[in-house]
Amino acid sequence: EVHLVVSGGGLVKPGGSLRLSCAASGFPFSGYAMNWVRQAPGKGLEWVSFISSGSSDIQYTDSVKGRFTISRDDAKNSVSLQMNSLRAEDTAVYYCARVGSAIDYWGQGTLVTVSS
Amino acid sequence: DIHMTQSPSTLSASVGDRVTITCRASQNIHTWLAWYQQTPGKAPKLLIYATSNLGSGVPSRFRGSGSQTEYTLTISSLQPDDFGTYYCQQYNVYPWTFGQGTNVET
């Protein structure tokens, strides 16, 4: 069974940094691309970042380019999102999700709150 | 960016009803369209991928169709577990984009 367990959320001041981690199990992690998707409180879904199998293709939504960095460690079956220069509008639940047939499995999400 | 527009935004329905949700893309997405269901406090769940393919374990009452810029999700007979918010999403080009959501309520 596929499991994606996200950690690292919390409260951070504007301009601060936070690192999210996602531990994957139940599937051959190195063979799959991974995503981060976020959802602001009471709002819809917003795709944030993508990393391919082998890390050869990395993509970001425009609003996080230059501030967020996605990476993966296939030896540890994990994907991370380093978030710098955080803004109030980055406040959201962040989901780690696998890319198979579309975004086929989602983790439970972690809340990131950017506030002074 | 490709803009995805869902209609309606809210849909009132009863158990047993046939439900149809429409998703329109601002340009041709070549059937790279997925549908997700989200219930309060939970992560989204994949229902349909590549326009018309059922996700793992998804009941056959869910059906997806469409082409180019117009796509539809149909639930043939609404069940109690089907209430929640539905999102379409294009994954033809980056940035991947979602519709604003359709809330299916009683």
| pLDDT tens track for A15-30 | 999 999 999 999 999 9
Separation of alpha carbons B14 and A91, rounded Å: 35
Q: Pairing mode, if any, of strands B84-90 and B45-49?
A: unpaired
Q: Two tokens at B90?
A: 């294009």
Between chains, do B95 and A102 touch, taking CB under 8 Å as contact?
no
Which residues does chain B have within 8 Å of residue A62's beta carbon, measured at their own beta carbons? 95
Q: Give the number of other CB atoms < 10 A from CB of residue A5.
A: 14
CB within 8 Å: B98 and A95:
no
pLDDT higher than 90, residue B24: yes
pLDDT at A50 over 90: yes
Residues of chain B found within 8 Å of residue A109, distances taken between Cβ atoms: 43
Q: Report chain B's mean pLDDT, rounded to a whole number.
A: 97
The reported pLDDT for the residue numbered B39 is 96
Mean of pLDDT over chain A: 97
Give the C-alpha separation, B58 to B45, whole Å: 10
Longest dimension (CA), chain A: 41
Q: Which of A50, A60, A106 sits opposite B44 (nearest CB)?
A: A106
Residue A47 at interface with chain B, using a CB cutoff of 8 Å: yes
B37 in contact with chain A, both atoms CB, cutoff 8 A: no
